[in-house]
Structure 1
Amino acid sequence: MSDKYIISYGRFIVRWRWIVAFLCLLLAGLVGAGVTKLGFNTDYRIFFGPDNPQLATQDDLEANYSKVDLVTIGLYSSEKSVFSRQMLGIIKDVTEQAWTFPAVSRVDSLTNFQHTEAEGDDLYVDDLVRDAADLTDADLEKIRAIALNEPSLVNRLVSEDGRTTQIMVTVQPADTQPDTLKKIVAPIRAMAAQIEKDHPDVEVALSGTVVMSLSMSEASEADSETLIPVMFAVIALTLLIFLRSVSGMVISMVVVFSSVLFALGLTGHYGFYLNVASAASPVIIVTIAVADTIHLLATFYVHMRRGMAKKDAVVESLRINFQPVFITSVTTAIGFLSLNFNDSPPFNHLGNISAIGVFAAWFFAITLLPSLLAILPTGPLGETRREHIVLENYVEWVIERRNTILVGMIVSCVAVAAFIPRLEYYDNFISFFSKNVEFRKDSEFMLDNLVGPYTMELSVSSGEEGGIANPDYMKQLQEFTDWLEAQPEVVHVFSIVDVMKRLNKNMHGDDPAWYKLPEERNLAAQYLLLYEMSLPYGLDLNNQIDIGKSATRVTASLGDVNTTDMKALTERTREWFDARQGEGRIMTPGGTSPGIIFAYLTRRTFDSMMVGTGVAFVLISLCLVAALRSFRLGLISIVPNVLPAVAAFGLWAIIDGRLGIFASAVTATALGLIVDCTVHFLSKYRRGSLEKGLGPEDSVRYAFAMVGSPLWISSLVLICGFVTLGFSDYLINAKMGLLTALIIAVALVTDFLLLPTILLFVDKKGSKKDANA
C-alpha cells in the first residue's frame, strides 16, 4: 500500500475516532462473549492424532480388555511393614472405599488378591486378607510368605522389602472434562488426607493416568490465576517505565486485552476446547500485541517531541509503521500456522489460536490504537537526553568496529552451534510437571519405593478361538515373558502365565514341583474355567484375557525410564516377535501405553515440524523480499532470522542439554517473532536510503534512531512474556517459553550487532563513495 493511501486511511481514523473506537470495542466484546463457551480438554489422548499407530494399538487393546485409565494409591509406613495388622487394615479399608467412588470398575490390592489353595479335589479361591484385626502373628507371617513369593504381587502391588504397597483403581469416566475427573479424584484425595491425619506414620501417594490428566487441568488453572495476571502487571509496568506515559500504557493494554478477548472468544464460538498447550496462547498473544503497539506509540511520541501536532503524529506513525507491522503480523502468523504440521493436535490448536490473536492484534493496532491516541490526552514527552546519547554512542561504536563485531559474532555463533550435537531427546510424562505438583512428587515416590506409572502393554494372540489354552502358545508366551522380565527397563511382568502355573500347582495338591504350565490343552482350559467361575464380581480375568480366549494381555511395569528407553524396549520387543514368525502361534501388534505413545510422539513431532519450519521459513523469506522490494535485503534478512534459533539451541545444549516435545514448536513459533526486529530495522534502513537519500552508515544511524528504542523495548516485553511462561507448573509450556525467550534474546543481540555490520559490509562500496564525496 502506498503512503498516499495510508495517510488517507490515517486521517479517516482520526476524523471518525469516536466511532472507530466504539466499533472496535463493540467487536471485541461481541466476539469475546464466546469465552463463556470455551471448554477445557484434560485427556492426555488429545496429544495424539487420529492416525497415531501406538494410540490405535492402545485403543484396540482397551476394546478387547479393560481400560488403562487408573488411579494408583500408594501406601508406605515409616514404622511398620505392609504385613502388619494396621497396614493390612488400612489397605482393606481403602479397597472397600474405592469400590464406592464414581466410575470405578475394578480395584486390585494386596488384600483382595484372589489367593488359590487346594482342598482335596477342590480349588479354594478367596481374598488374601479377610479381617486384618483378627489376624494372628502366624496368619501375618503366612500372608507375608504368600505375597512375597507370588510373582503377580511382588514389584506390582507390594515391594520386595514389604514396606510399600499400592491399590490399583481402574476407572471408566463418562468423559475427560475437568469436572468429571475431579468427581473421581476428589474423594480419593479426601480419603488419602484422612489416612495421613489418622496415621501420621503413613504416607499416601496418588498417581496414574487419571490423576495425570487432572493435574494437567489444574496446572493450567493455576497458570490462569497467577501467571497471566502477573504477566499483565509486568508488561504494564514495563510500558509505563519505557513509554513514560500513563495514557500510552493504558492504550496499549486496551489493545492487548481486546486482542486476547477476540482470539479466545472466536475460539469459543467455534466450539473448540483449550488444552494444556493451547492454554499458553493468551500469554503469546499478549506479548505479540504489545510488540505491535510499542512501534506505533514510540513513533508517535518521537514526532510529538519534534513539535508535530497530535493528529498529524498519529497519521505519521501509521504511515511509517503500517507496512512493517503488517509484514511482521503476517510472518508471525505464518510461524504459528506452521504448527499445523505438528503431529500433536494441542500444538495445532496453540498455533491456530495464536495466529488468530496475531491478526486481532494487528487489526486493533491500526484501528483502535490510533483512534484512542486521537481521543485520550497524550501530550509530548520530554526527551531523555541520556538515552539519546547512549544510543548515539552505541551506533558509532558499532560503525567504528564493524569488522571486529562481524567476525566476532560469526565465530561466536559457530562456537555455540557446535554444542547442538550434545542435545538429546528426553521426555517422560512425569517430567511434564514441575516438582511442585503433587502428581510428580507422588509418582517419583512410587518409582523409588515400588513401581511408577510407566508400562508397556501388549496383546499376545494365539491366532484361534480358545487358543490360549494351547500348550505351545503358553510355552511361547512364557519364553517371551521370561525374556521381557530380563530387560533392564522392566521391573515386573504381569501375565496369565503365572496364573496358569499357580493353578496347575493347586490342582496337584499344591505340590511345588507342579508349579509349571499344564501340558494338556483340555486341562489348561478346565483349570481356567474353574478359576474364572470362582472369582468374585469385578475381579474377573477380562483385564488379562479377551472374550474369545484367543489372546492374553501382558503388562510390563517399567522403572525410571525416558522416551529413549521406552522406544528401545518397544523396538527390541518387536524384533523378538519378528525373529519368531512362523515358529508358532504367538504374535502381537506391538507394545503400547501412554508412556510409549508419548515416546514415539516426541520424535514424530520433531520430524513433522522440520517440514513445517521449512515451509514457514520459505514463506517468510518470500514475504520479506516482497515487502522490502529488494532481493538483496531479503537475502540479508535470512542471516538474522536463522542464526538466533541455531545459537539458542546451542546455548540450550549448554544450559539444559535435553529436548522434549516442547522444542518441536519453538523454532516455528520464534521464527515469526524474531522477524519483527529484522523487518522494522531493514524497513527503516531502506527508508533512510531511498526516501532520505542517506549512505549506508547514515542509514544505519537513521534506522537506530527510529527503531532502536522500540526494538529493544518490544523484545524485552516479548522476553518477559515468554519468561513468565517459564514459571508454569506444566513444564512443556515452561520450557517452550524459556527457549523461545532465549531465541528472542539472541535475536535482539543479532539485530543490534550482526545485522548493521552485515549491511555495512554488503554496502561498503556505497559507503566509500559517500566518504569520497
Structure 2
Amino acid sequence: MKKLLGIGFWEFIARIILRNRIAIISSIILLTVLLALQWKHVRFTQTEANLIPADDKVNVDYNNFLSHFGEEGNLIVIATKDNHLFTPKIYKAWSELMHTIQSNKAVSLVISVDNLQKLVKNDSLVSFELKPLVDQSKVQDPAYLKQIQQELYSKLPFYEGLLFNKKSGAIRSAIYLDKKIVNTKARKLYILNELIPAINKFKAATNIELHTSGMPYIRTLNAKTIIDEIGLFIGAALLITSLIFFYFFRSFRATLISIIIVIIGVMWSFGIMGALDYEITVLTALVPTLVIVIGIPNCIFFINKYHQEYHKHSNKAKALQRVITKTGTATLMTNITTAVGFATFIATNNVLLREFGVVTTINILAIYTLSLLLIPIFFSYIPPPIPRHLGHLERESLTSFLRWIVNTVKYNRLGVYITSICLLIFGMIGIYKIKISGSIIEDMPKHTAFFEDIRFFEKEFDGVMPLEIMIDTKKKNGAIKLSNLRKMEELEHTINDIPELSKPISIVNIAKSFNQAYYNGNPEFYTLPSPQEELFLLPYIKNSLKKTKDNQLKSYITSDGSIARMTTFIKDENGEKMDAIEAHIRNKVNKLFPEPRYEVIITGKASVFQKGTKYLLDNLLSSLLFAFFLTGALVAIMFRSFKMVLVSIIPNLLPLLMTAGLMGFLGIPLKPSTLLVFGIAFGMSVDDTLRFLAQYRLELSRNEWKIKRSVFATFDDAGISMFYTSIILFFGFSVFMLSSFGGTVALGGLVALTLFFGMLSNLVLLPSLVLTLNKTLANQQELPEPTIDIWEHSDEEIDELEMKNK
C-alpha cells in the first residue's frame, strides 16, 4: 500500500518552498497585514469565566434569578474604620465624594451615611415615606455628627452589618452601578477613570484610608492586571527563550530568524482571535506566550537538523532540502499531537475552554507552518554555518549527559523500573490528598491593594461574594404574607448561624423596618408584626410598594409580590465549604418551603463558580482520556503495533501522575488553572515520544533490525533535539511564574515541572520500555509497514528517489 506523506510528497514540498521563496515571503507578509487589520476586534472579556454550559440547571437557575432581579454583581462598597469620619471636615469630604459618585450616569444608587434615609409613617397617605437621616444644615456641628453616629448605631438595626459594624466602628457606603453597564466596557472606564481618581482625591485631602471592593471593582482591577501581564509574559518569554537558544547554537542569525518567526506567530494569534471575534479571557491571554514557547522548539528542531545535515556533507542546498524531506512528517505529527492536547478542550461543553482550544490549535499549526517555510528560506539567503555554529553538536556537557542516560538504560533498566514504580506509588498516594477549590479570588494577585481590601470586607462585613436565594411563592403578594415572612425569618436565623455567611438582606428586614416605623422608629419594634399588627400595616406596605422606581423594595421582591429575594455574602476562602453550606440551607428550605407549593433557587456568582470548577474537573478528566485515546490511535496508525501504543502512553502518563502527587503533598488544589496543566503537558510531552520512536524506527532499518544498537543510535540523533526543546519548554513555561496571579504561577510551574519529568521519562523510561517490549523482535516483519511514513528517511532512500525522478 502506498504510504501517506512519504518522502516523495516531502521532496515535492521542499522543491516548492526553495523554488518559490519570494512568493512565500510575500504571502506571509500579506497574511500578516490582513490579520493585523483584525486586531481592532480584539477586546477583553467584561464577565467572569462561566465554566458551566448554558443549558445546565445551574445556569438555568442563575439566569432565572437574573430575569427577575437583574445583575446581582453591581454592588461596589467603600469603607473606613477611621474614627474621624464623624467630624465636620472629614464628613464634608466624604459627602462630596459620595455626591460625585452619585452624579455619574454609570451609578444608579448610592447608600451612605450622608444620604441615608429612614422610614417614617405618614398617616394621611396611609404609607411609609423615606426621610433624610441627616439634616445637612447642621453637619458643621461636631456634637450633631456624634448624635447622628449614635442614632445610626442604636436606632437603625436594619443597617447593622450592611452599612456599619457596631463592634469595630467600620462604616461603609454601598454604590449600585447601572445594571446595563456591569458587563460592558463602560464599567471598566468608569471605575478606572472616574471612581478610583475620586477615591484617591479623598485620600489625599483627608489622609483617611479607604477600602474598596465589590464584584464590579474586583473584576475590573483583576482584568487590568491580566492585560498588563500579557506584555510581561511576551517580553519575558522572548528574552529567556532567545537567550537559551543563542546559548545552544551560538549564532545570532539562527536566533534572529527564530525571534522573527515567533513574533509573526504572536501577531497572528491576536489577529486570529480578532477574526474569530473571541474575547481575551484569562485563558486566551496565555495564547501569545504559548506561541513563543511552542514556536522556539520547532525552530530548534529544524535548525538543529540543518546543522546536522550540513555537518555531514557541507552542502548547504542539499542540507536545506533534506531538513524538509527527512523530517517533514515527523515534525508535522509532533505538532499535531501538541495540537491534540489543546484540541481536547474543544470537546468540552464549555465556551471558555472551547475558544481556548480552537485558538491554541490553530496557532500551533500556524507556528509550525511558519517554521517549515521561513527557516529553509532564511538559511538559503545567508552564508552556510561556520564551525562555531556547529560546535553545539559535540558539546562536552551535552554529550556527557546523554552518555549518562545511555549507560543507565544499558546497564540499569531494573533500577529504572523500580524508580518508576516508586514514583507511580508516590503519585497515587498524593492524588488522594488533592483538594478541589472553587474560590473566585484564590488565584487573584495576593499582594495588590484590592486583594487586601477583599480580606478587609471579609473580616468586617463577612465577605463580598454574593449568595442568592430566590423564593417563589407562586401566589400574588404571597411573599409579603406574614406566614411566609416568618418562614423567611426562620431561614435567616439558619443563615446567621453559619460563620462563613453574612447577615442576610431580604423583604423580612424591610418588613421589620416597616413595623419599627409604624411605632415611630422605636428599635424595640424592629420585629415582624403580629397577625393583629399586620392588619394595620398591610395597607401601608402595599402603598409603599407602588412608589418610586428607586424604592429599595424592588430589589428584594417582584412587582406582583410573588417572588422574594434573600441576599447574603460569603467569605471566599477556598470554596471547600460551599457544598456543605448549600446543603445545610437546602435542608432548611425543604422543610420551610416544600415543593411543589414553593420553588426555591440557591444561586449567585460564588455558587456558580464552585459548581463550575467541579464541572470543569469532570470535563477535563474525560478530555484527558480522550487525548490518550487519540494519541494511542495516532501511534497505532503510524506504527501498526500495540506495543508501540503502550510504549508511547506509559512514559507520558507517569509525569502526569507525579505532578498530581506533588500537588497533593504540597497542598496545591485542583482549580481551573491547575486543571489545565495535564492536558497541556501531555500534548507537549508526547512530542518527544514520537520523535524518539520515529528515529528508532529509522535506526532499525539502518542497523539490520538490531534492537539495542538501534535504540542507542537513536540517542545520537534525537537525543539532542529532545533535550534542547525540553529545556526551552521548561524555562518558557517558567515565565508564567512571574505572574502575580496564583493560578497562572501554578499553571506555569506545574507544566514546567511536568515537562521536565516528561523529558527524563522519554529519555530513560521510554528506551527501556522499547528494549523490554521489543525484546523478541527478530526481523522486519515484527514491525509492519506504517500507514503514515513518520520516520526520518535515510540518505540512501532519498538519493534513490531523486535518481528515479531524474
Name the TM-score class by shorter chain: over 0.9
- 2:73 and 2:215 in contact (8 A); partners too: yes
User: Quick one: distance in 1 between partners of 2:365 and 2:564?
Assistant: 53
1:112 aligns with 2:119: no
1:42 equivalent in alignment to 2:46: yes
Q: Equivalent of 2:407, from 392, 397, 410?
A: 397
Asked whether the 8 Å contact 1:247–1:378 carries over to 2, the reply is no
Question: Partners in 2 of 1:353 and 1:391 — Cα distance?
Answer: 37
Cα separation, partners in 2 of 1:385 and 1:115, compared to 1, 3 Å: closer
Supply the distance in 2 between the matched residues of 1:135 and 1:459 (Cα, whole angstroms): 44
Which secondary structure state, in structure 1, belongs to the residue aligned with residue 519 of structure 2?
A: coil
2:293 to 274, 287, 298: 287
Matched, 1:94 2:81: no
2:712 to 698, 701, 708: 701
Query: 1-side partners of 2:270 and 2:379: how far apart?
Result: 26
After TM superposition, give the deviation of residue 599 of structure 1 in Å.
Answer: 0.9
Question: Take 1:415 and 1:767, find their aligned partners in 2: how far apart are those partners?
Answer: 37
Whole-Å Cα distance in 1 between the matches of residues 595 and 16 of structure 2? 82
Other-structure match for 1:450:
461
Residue 193 of structure 1 deviates from its aligned partner by 0.5
Equivalent position of 2:658 in the other structure: 647
SS in 1 for 2:581: helix
In the other structure, the counterpart of 1:771 is none
Identify which of 9, 16, 20 aligns with 1:12: 16
* Contact kept? 1:158, 1:165, Cα under 8 Å: yes
Matched letter for residue 591 of structure 2: A
Displacement after TM superposition at 1:309 (Å)? 0.8
Deviation at 1:515, TM superposition (A): 3.8
Question: Which residue in 1 is equivalent to 2:67?
Answer: 63
More deviation in 285-294 or 31-40? Answer: 31-40
> Per the alignment, in what secondary structure is the counterpart of residue 40 of structure 1?
coil
SS in 1 for 2:183: coil
- Give the structure 1 partner of residue 346 of structure 2: 340
CA distance in 1 between counterparts of 2:590 and 2:68 reads 23
Q: Distance in 2 between the 1:270 and 1:657 partners?
A: 35
The equivalent of 1:746 in structure 2 is: 757
The alpha-carbon deviation at position 190 of structure 1 amounts to 0.7
CA contact (8 A) 1:251 1:373 kept: no
Q: What SS does the corresponding residue of 1:456 show, helix, strand or coil?
A: strand
SS at match of 2:764: helix
Moved more, 164-173 or 278-287: 164-173
Which shifted more, 104-113 or 747-756? 104-113
Q: Equivalent residue for 1:316? A: 322
Quote the offset at 1:677 in angstroms: 0.9
Between the aligned partners of 1:214 and 1:243, the Cα distance in structure 2 is: 44
Q: Could you tell me how far apart the structure 2 residues matched to 1:461 and 1:176 are?
A: 27
Indicate the larger mover: 240-249 or 624-633: 624-633
How do 1:475-514 residues align onto structure 2 when only pairs under 5 Å count? 475-510=486-521, 514=525
Say whether 1:723 aligns with 2:740.
Answer: no
Q: Which residue of 2 aligns with 1:181?
A: 188
| 2:253 partner amino acid | S
Q: Quick one: which of 163, 184, 198 aligns to 1:157?
A: 163
d(CA) in 2 for partners of 1:222, 1:184: 17
Counterpart check, 1:25 vs 2:25: no
Deviations, residues 100-159 of structure 1 (Å, cap 9, x unaligned): 123211212234332235689886632333337245536624542443564432222112
Partners of 1:584 and 1:611 in 2: CA distance: 36
Say if 2:425 is the partner of 1:414. Answer: yes
Q: Report if aligned partners of 1:431, 1:440 keep a CA contact under 8 Å in 2.
A: no
> 2:555, 2:177 → 1: CA distance?
13
- C-alpha deviation, 1:373, in angstroms: 2.3
Q: What's the secondary structure of 1:274's corresponding residue?
A: coil
Q: CA deviation at 1:602?
A: 0.4
Provide the rounded CA distance (Å) in 2 between the counterparts of 1:138 and 1:262.
65
Q: Is residue 529 from structure 1 mapped to residue 580 from structure 2 by the alignment?
A: no
- Higher deviation after alignment, 332-341 or 524-533: 524-533
> What per-residue deviation string (whole Å, max 9, x for no partner) do you get for residues 5-55 of structure 1?
323322332233333333333333333432232222121165554224334
Within the candidate set 175, 197, 201, 1:194 is matched to 201
Whole-Å separation in 2 of the counterparts to 1:8 and 1:119: 92
Which of 424, 430, 437 does residue 426 from structure 1 map onto?
Answer: 437
Contact 1:103/1:184 (CA < 8 Å) preserved in 2?
no
User: Given the alignment of the two structures, is residue 551 of structure 1 paired with residue 563 of structure 2, yes or no?
Assistant: yes
Deviates more, 1:661-670 or 1:523-532: 523-532
Letter in structure 2 aligned against 1:105 = S
How far apart are residue 542 of structure 1 and its match? 1.1
Measured in 2, the distance between the counterparts of 1:35 and 1:43 equals 20
Return closer, same or farther for 1:120/1:196 CA change in 2, 3 Å cut-off: same
Q: Structure 2 residue aligned with 1:72, among 72, 76, 87?
A: 76
Q: Report if the CA contact (8 A) 2:187-2:216 is conserved.
A: no
Query: SS of the counterpart of 2:119?
Result: strand
Summarize deviations over 1:612-661 as a string: whole Å, max 9, x none.
Answer: 22222211110122223433212211101211111111112233431211
Alignment of 1:575 with 2:581, yes or no, is no
Percent identity reads 18
Call closer, same or farther: CA 1:469–1:405 in 2, change over 3 Å. closer
Aligned AA for 1:92?
S
Shift of 1:253: 2.0
Q: Residues 370 and 33 (structure 1 numbering): CA distance in 2 closer, same or farther, change over 3 Å? A: farther
Pairwise CA RMSD: 2.8
Tell me the CA shift for residue 81 of structure 1.
5.8
- Secondary structure of residue in 1 paired with 2:454: helix
Give the stretch that moved more between structures: 298-307 or 376-385.
Answer: 376-385
C-alpha contact 2:557 2:563 (8 A) present in aligned 1: yes
Partner Cα separation in structure 1 for residue 12 and residue 347 of structure 2: 40
Cα displacement (A) at 1:532: 4.8
Number of matched pairs: 765
Q: In the aligned structure 2, how far is the partner of 1:99 from the partner of 1:311? A: 72
Partner of 2:379: 373
Distance 1:186 1:262 in 2: 31
**Structure 2: segments with no counterpart, 5+ residues:** 780-806
Alpha-carbon contact 1:420-1:649 (below 8 Å) kept: yes
Deviations 1:710-766 (A, max 9, x none): 112111221222221222234433322222222111111211221122222223456
TM-score normalised over the length of structure 1: 0.92
**Quick check: 2:699–2:714 contact (8 Å CA) kept in 1?**
yes
Give the corresponding residue for 1:137: 143
* Aligned-residue offset at 1:335: 1.5
Structure 1 stretch displaced more, 722-731 or 326-335: 722-731
| 1:368–1:244 CA distance, 2 compared to 1 (3 A) | same
Normalising by structure 2, we get a TM-score of: 0.89
Task: Decide which moves more: 561-570 or 46-55.
Answer: 46-55
Instruction: Supply the distance in 1 between the matched residues of 2:390 and 2:675 (Cα, whole angstroms).
Output: 45
Q: Which moved more, 1:513-522 or 1:331-340?
A: 513-522
Q: Which one of 235, 258, 264 corresponds to residue 258 of structure 1?
A: 264
* Cα distance in 2, alignment partners of residues 145 and 552 from structure 1: 29
The amino acid that maps onto 2:198 is M
| Structure 1 residue aligned with 2:787 | none
TM-aligned CA distance change 1:505 to 1:11, over 3 Å:
closer
Q: Partner of 1:426: helix, strand, or coil? A: coil
Closer, same or farther: CA 137–736 of 1 in aligned 2, 3 Å? same
Seen in structure 2, the aligned counterparts of structure 1 residues 452 and 378 have a Cα distance that, compared at 3 Å, is: farther
| 2:574 aligned with 1:562 | yes
Residue identity in the other structure for 1:20? I
Structure 1: gaps spanning 5 or more residues: 769-773
Q: Secondary structure at 1:549's aligned position in 2?
A: coil
How many angstroms apart in 1 are the aligned matches of 2:53 and 2:384? Answer: 51
The whole-number CA distance in structure 2 between the counterparts of 1:344 and 1:719 is 29
Q: Choose the corresponding residue for 2:527, options 510, 513, 516.
A: 516
Among residues 120, 128, 131, which one is paired with 1:126 in the alignment? 131
What is the one-letter code of the residue matched to 2:443?
Answer: F
Q: Secondary structure at the match of 2:603?
A: coil
Deviation, 1:536, is: 7.0
Q: Decide which moves more: 627-636 or 463-472.
A: 627-636
Letter aligned with residue 36 of structure 1 = K
